[in-house]
Structures are given as C-alpha cells and as structure tokens.
Structure 1
Amino acid sequence: MIALRQLATSLKKVNWQNRLIRQRKNSITIRARGTYVAALDFVLVATLAQKPIASTPAPALGVRWLMSSNSFPRMNWPYVILVALLGTGGLLFIAWSITWQVYREWSNGLPISGGWSWPIVVSVNLVCAFAVSALYWKIYSDAKTTIDEYGIFKPSLFGAHTIAWSEVTNVEVFGGVGYHVHAGNSKIIVTPYAYKNPNQVIEILRINIVRASSDAT
C-alpha cells in the first residue's frame, strides 16, 4: 500500500511538471507572436509615414452645401410619378382610341373612316410605345444625374456622359424647365423641377459655371 501511494504521488508530480512545461512553452510562443506582430506594426507604420499624404484643397463656397449632401440632386418623386402617369395615360389613350375605332369598323365589315388604315394604326402604336419608353428613360436618367464640384454626370444610351465645369461653353434655358448645358458638341439636359430643390439646382449650376469661367480667365 505504501508503495502504491508513493507511485501515485510521483505520477502527480510528473503531471504537474508537464503542465508547467506546456504553460511555459505556450507563454514563450505567445510572446514570440506578440513580438512578431509588434514588429510588423512598426514596419507598417514606418512605411506609411514615408508615403506623402496628398492634401485636398478646401471646396469653394458654392459647392460646400453640395458636397455635404449624400445625394444631389434628389428626385421629387411625387411630381415625377404624376408626370409619368399622366404621360403614360395620355399616350395609351391615343393609341387605344385610334386602334379601337379602326378595329370596330374593320370587324363589322365597314370601310375604315377618317383616313386611317392598319399600317397607320401600327405606326401610331409604335410611336406611342417609343414615347412611353423615352419618358421612362428620361425619368431614369434624371434620377441617376449627379452634380458635384467637378461637373455634371448623366447616363446615356451609349454610356456615361460627363461635362466638367471648365468645359461648359454655353447654357440654354427653355421656359425655365430645361437647362441645356453645352460643352462643344456635347450636351446634357438638366430638368430642375424633377428634383426636390429646383432653385438650389439652378443656383448650383450658375455658381459652378461662373466659378469655372472666372478660373479660366
């Protein structure tokens, strides 16, 4: 019995010593990893410190409000949806009224009156469909239009269309509704009243164009 107790005591001591050895190894490994990570951090900081940081000039007064906005300009969706519904309804009514008149006379075996014919009816329907598509494309392009301190961006069927403020050669206003911004042969149409803040859109256009022209001179 005494021998068995001594054997158990010696086994406990061995297990305790093995635990101490493993803890010391883990501690050394953790310290080594910490030293390695610290060295990497030091190298990274030293590398970044050697790279020059490009300074950006402060924005001009006319574009500070513009740059603080998350999205500019913001769409006036109630107005745009109303215009879309009225435009779509009007075009569909034109196509339906002509088509129904011709179909009713043709189905009853009567001569088609009013100078209409099926080729003309098909042409009218195609024109109305094209007009509806153009209306919704206009809404989409207005929603994706961006005005910033560099110029105007607007999507087109042939890719992105951008005009820098320094490239603007002329601005035409049609009834206060459409602003045609020209840069040589390029043109972007801005519709201020499609947005929530039409007066601010007009003012941003004016300020940036005036500022670009004064910088050029």
Structure 2
Amino acid sequence: MNWKEKILAAMKQYQIAVAFIVGAPFGWMVVRYWPSDPGHAAAWVQAIGTIGAVISAILVARHQSRESQKMLFDQWEREENNERQLRKTKLRSISGVVVRCAETAKSACGSLLDVKTRSDFSKDLINQKSRLEDAIKWIDGMPIGSDPGILISLNVVNIRLSIKRIVELIDQAKGMSAMSAHKRDRLHALHRSLTLHSSSINDYIESYDGAYEEILVSEL
C-alpha cells in the first residue's frame, strides 16, 4: 500500500474527523466574512448553494461509478466461476467415459487370460473384440482436441492405443486355443498401462479447479 492509499484509508476510517477539519475553517470563513448587506448575503447564499450542488454532483457521480465498477467486477467473477464449473463438469464427463472404456479393456484382458477351454476362448475373442471396438468408438467421440478435454488428451491417447493393441492381439489369436506366453505378457503389460493412465486421469480430475490451462503440442 503506497502513501496515497494509506491517506485514503485513513480518511475513510475517520470520515467525521476529516469532515470537521475540512468544514470548520469553511464555516468560520462564512461566519467571519458574512456580508451585512442583504443583497450581498443573497449572493453568498446562491454561491454556497452552487458550490454545494457541484460537490454533491461529484460525490454522487463518484459513488455511482464505484457501484458500477463493483457490479461489473461481480459479474466478471460470476461468469468466471460459471466457466470454471462448466469446464470441471465437462472434463469429468469426458474422463468418466474414457476411464469406463479403460475398465472395459482391463476386464477384457482378465477374461482372455482366464479362459479354460478352446470353445470358451474362441467365443470370448469375438465377444471381447466387439466390446473393445465399441470402447474405441466412444473414445473417438470425446472432444479431447479442445479445452478442457485436451488437458487429459495424453492419457486418453495412450488408453486408446492400449485398447487398439488388445484388439490386434485378439486378431492374432484367432484359431488358437489360448493366448501364447508372449501374448499373455503383452496383455499383462497393457493391463498395467491402462491402470496407470486411468489413475493419472482420476488424479488430475480430483485436483482440477476448472481454471483455463494451456497444453503444448510438444507434450503429446
């Protein structure tokens, strides 16, 4: 706070004292030099009234200006809060769909690793591929190229790639009775990747306050 602000703050705090200090000399001058001639006295009254009207107009205009500024700042704050809440809600909706798709893919990994017979395996390949392709379609429909979806776009892209890799493993396993050891290792790795990126999304959503943030393309 600079010296001007300190003076203004003190004047606001001691308004009555300031009014007395300023008004007392003026009142003394009016009494001291009040003309004895009635004609001159009328002119003095008119002059004082004019000065009072000007001062009143200035004070009213100043008050209205401050009120207008306050209303404008309040409006901006409400709009900013509304925008923050909208971004939070939108990002939660996007993340909810993406995390659900990741859970579907993790479930597919577990199912493909646990099948017992050749017949069950063949049927499961068809079933899981259909589910994963639906999950990819859902992810592709998410607006992750714009604010606020872009804030989690890196994790979303990695989840989509992991799901795509699982579909590729399913296509390679057609005609087999079970996943090979190599493919089982890949499924385990993809399951871990899905878990990692889902957790990253959830952690970001929990800490996100709705503020506008920028993400560099080089980070993708």
| TM-score bin, normalised by smaller chain | under 0.3
Structure with greater strand percent: 1
TM-score, structure 2 as length reference? 0.24
Structure with greater helix percent: 2
